[in-house]
Amino acid sequence: MKLKSIILNILLISFISFFFLTFGIINNFMKPALLEIEKKYVLEQFQRSEKIINEDLESLETLVLDWAVWDDTYAFIKNEDPAFIDSNIVPSTFSTANVSFISLFDKNKNQIYSVIYDTENDSISNFSNYFINKIKEKEQDTFLQFDKNINKVVTISYSEIFDSDKEKPYNGYLMMGRILDESMYDKISDRAGAIISFDSQSFNISSAKTKDVTLKINKTNIEAKRTFGDFKNSNLILKLESKRWIGIIILKLLNKTLFVSFILVLVLFIILSLCLYYFAVKKIENLKNQVEGLPLNNFENKLKVRGSGEFSDLATSINEMIMKIQNINTKVLLGKEKYETLFEETTSIHIIVDEDYCIKETNRKLESLLGFNKNDIIGSNILNFFNSKYTNKIKETIDNIFIGNPAEEIQVSLEDINGNTKYLIITPSNFLLVEEEDEYRILLVGNDITEKKKIERKLKDFATLDELTGIYNRRIGLEMLDKNLFLAKRNKWNLIVAFIDVNGLKQINDTLGHIYGDDLIAATAEILKKSIRKSDIVCRLGGDEFLVILSDCDWINVDDFWNRVLANKKDINDSNQFKFKISLSRGFTSLSENSEFTTSKMIELADERMYQDKLSRKAQRKVEIE
């Protein structure tokens, strides 16, 4: 990223951070605190309003309870005497009691008489009371009801009708209602100190079951809403408009503060950007253009910067660095020819690969090792030449160097053109070679250790195998027995040891010579190898003695094993391959006889039983010689 972009990004981030910090402080601390103060003040206004409305509800409830226990009211429900109506339900009653309608219902909630008062004409008229469904299974109730027909709030109170002594059962219901008109709202607003009304959309607000105050700050007032009262019909929303100027002014100032802060920071951002461009970025771009214009083969031209100061010092430092580069370049050109000669003539294998594992260059040593033509090697994927089990290790080594991680030497194998396995130790160079167009490559140095591997394999065979027979020697055999005995005891397997002796070896050595004796030992080893299972182990203890370890087996397996030995022995004897007949004695010991057996004890018992077998077979008889 260019310096100019970095500086502009820093300034822009600072500008945005400052703005959002200011915005966060105002919105998260100052505004909420002020709104909480306003909410508290509005809540007091709501409480005063609700008190007035509750007083009106209580006065209506008192009037209904009084009328509901008149004997005349009780008698009217029973006899429907017109005299009750003429003397009690007249226009003056409505105006005096401030009632909008009066309704009488029988016990089954059938309307008997219902009238509504017309305040303009001071008259009453019949009224079909559709609030009858609000009468519940209780003696009395008082509530507010929003009447959609007249789009007004109505105060309603009803009660069961009894005789004055309440000795008789109730025989009907009395219901009275008041429509909240403008005079009532004016009265509430005067005492509350705010404009009070009920929200006409209250029935659409499903979340109104709360006592929280919702504030809305307008240009000229503060509008608030709150669920009205503690009545069952509390889905009415009481609306309040307060002209509390101090709250509105402060909130407006906070909003203006955000706007002013935004403009000031924006102007500061523009000024700083221009200053940085003319006093820093422009000079740096000038230096960059001069550096890019320098020819790679001629560094005679030097960088120039007007004026003094840090940028002039920077130009001087760059000029000094250019001179050093020129000197180094001269030395590199002189050493390139020497390097190419060393690359080809070195005794090590040199391979140059790119990050796609493609071989870009190699020397004659790899060509002679594999037998492939050098032109066939260059351009190929290096992974194709190595054994598949080393592929991931080679990829990881190359990838680590390209990402800057150190890589260690690895040992791998590969096949030459004839299919022979070759072994290499590859030492990667922990640095990148840069070619033209910024193409990065790495150098892998390999040393052929094929002969060393062969010697190691032979030494291992000498250390583990019997030289004459090619089976395990005594040391390895006893170690194997120790391990198998331990596993058998831990896993509760049975283990059987066979001690086998070749009969008449001394007689053959004395009569036919040691060469034939060696043939007898080798043939016996071959018989035993062909007779054991894959899980069994055979070794030569020395001389004419062999040890067979039969792991996880029973006596049936032992019989099968010995039958295979006899069959293989018979095949050799019948073939007349040798001037002698092979004869063997054997003894067996099973771990099942004593779970505490040691290695030496099992061998000792098997040896004793082998000797008994030798005696029983009269093994001392002369060996049959052709």
Residue type, 345: E
Task: Give the pLDDT of residue 234.
Answer: 44
Q: How far apart are the first and last CA of the chain?
A: 97
Task: Give the pLDDT of residue 483.
Answer: 95
Question: CB of 112 within 8 A of CB of 106?
Answer: yes
Question: CB of 49 within 8 A of CB of 192?
Answer: yes
Task: Give the pLDDT of residue 487.
Answer: 94
Per-residue pLDDT averaged across 482-490, rounded? 94
Task: Give the pLDDT of residue 358.
Answer: 87
33-242 against 346-455: fold identical = yes
Displacement of CA 492 from its chain's centroid (Å): 45
Task: Give the pLDDT of residue 194.
Answer: 66
The residue among 10 and 544 whose pLDDT is bigger is: 544
CA distances from 313 to 309, 318, 618 (A): 6, 9, 109
The share of the chain scoring above pLDDT 70, in percent, equals 68
Into which CATH architecture does domain 346-455 fall? 2-Layer Sandwich (3.30)
Task: Give the pLDDT of residue 619.
Answer: 44
Q: Which tens digits make up the pLDDT trace of 258-282?
A: 566 667 767 776 887 676 666 666 6
Task: Give the pLDDT of residue 514.
Answer: 92
d(CA 229, CA 600): 100
Is the per-residue pLDDT at 299 higher than 60? no
In order, the DSSP letters of 381-418 are: BGGGGB-GGGHHHHHHHHHHHHTT-----EEEEEE-TT
| Ranges assigned E (strand) in 460-560 | 495-502, 537-542, 545-551
Q: What's the pLDDT band for 325 if we cut at 50, 70, 90?
A: low
Q: Which two tokens stand for residue 564?
A: 């295979």
CA nearest to 351, candidates 332, 379, 328, 323:
379
The residue among 150 and 93 whose pLDDT is bigger is: 93
| 571 contacts: CB under 8 Å, gap ≥ 6 | none
Q: Which tens digits make up the pLDDT trace of 584-625?
A: 999 999 999 998 999 999 999 999 999 999 988 764 454 444
Q: What's the pLDDT band for 208 if we cut at 50, 70, 90?
A: very low
Displacement of CA 357 from its chain's centroid (Å): 33
Q: Which tens digits make up the pLDDT trace of 375-410?
A: 878 888 888 878 778 888 888 888 888 787 777 788
Residue type, 509: N
Residue 93 CB neighbour total at 10 angstroms = 15
d(CA 80, CA 92): 21
Question: CB of 359 within 8 A of CB of 373?
Answer: no
Is the per-residue pLDDT at 7 higher than 90? no
Displacement of CA 3 from its chain's centroid (Å): 37
Question: CB of 527 within 8 A of CB of 575?
Answer: no
Into which CATH architecture does domain 33-242 fall? 2-Layer Sandwich (3.30)
Is the per-residue pLDDT at 486 higher than 80? yes
The residue among 564 and 446 whose pLDDT is bigger is: 564
List the chain domain ranges: 33-242, 299-344, 346-455, 465-616
Residue type, 218: N
Q: Which tens digits make up the pLDDT trace of 104-146?
A: 999 888 899 999 998 889 899 998 887 777 776 667 788 777 7
Question: CB of 205 within 8 A of CB of 238?
Answer: no
In this prediction the pTM is: 0.37
CA nearest to 225, candidates 260, 256, 197:
197
Q: Across the chain, what does the average pLDDT equal? A: 78
| 589 contacts: CB under 8 Å, gap ≥ 6 | 496, 497, 499, 597, 602, 603, 605, 606, 609
Is the per-residue pLDDT at 434 higher than 50? yes
Is the per-residue pLDDT at 205 higher than 50? no
Q: Which two tokens stand for residue 178?
A: 């008041």
d(CA 114, CA 100): 11
Residue type, 36: E
CA nearest to 509, candidates 586, 585, 576, 580:
580
Per-residue pLDDT averaged across 402-423, rounded? 80
Q: Which two tokens stand for residue 199?
A: 């929200």
| 67 contacts: CB under 8 Å, gap ≥ 6 | 73, 174, 176
User: How is domain 465-616 classified at the CATH fold level?
Assistant: Alpha-Beta Plaits (3.30.70)
Q: What's the pLDDT band for 499 if we cut at 50, 70, 90?
A: very high
Task: Give the pLDDT of residue 30.
Answer: 67
Flag the least confident range among 54-63, 104-113, 202-211, 461-470.
Answer: 202-211
Sheet containing strand 222-227, edge to edge, reads 195-198, 237-242, 222-227, 214-217
Is the per-residue pLDDT at 204 higher than 50? no
The conformational region for residue 543 under phi > 0 = left, psi -120 to 50 = alpha, else beta, is: left
Q: Which two tokens stand for residue 474?
A: 């005594």
| 343 contacts: CB under 8 Å, gap ≥ 6 | 350, 361, 363
The alpha carbon torsion through 403, 406, 408, 414 (nearest 10 deg) reads 10
The residue among 439 and 94 whose pLDDT is bigger is: 94
Is the per-residue pLDDT at 537 higher than 90? yes
Task: Give the pLDDT of residue 298.
Answer: 55
Flag the least confident range among 20-24, 290-294, 538-542.
Answer: 290-294
CA distances from 285 to 5, 43, 291, 319, 553 (A): 12, 65, 10, 16, 86
Is the per-residue pLDDT at 451 higher than 90? no
Task: Give the pLDDT of residue 21.
Answer: 73
Task: Give the pLDDT of residue 586.
Answer: 95
Q: What's the pLDDT band for 322 if we cut at 50, 70, 90?
A: low
Per-residue pLDDT averaged across 175-204, rounded? 70
Torsions phi, psi for 117 (to 5 deg): -95, 130
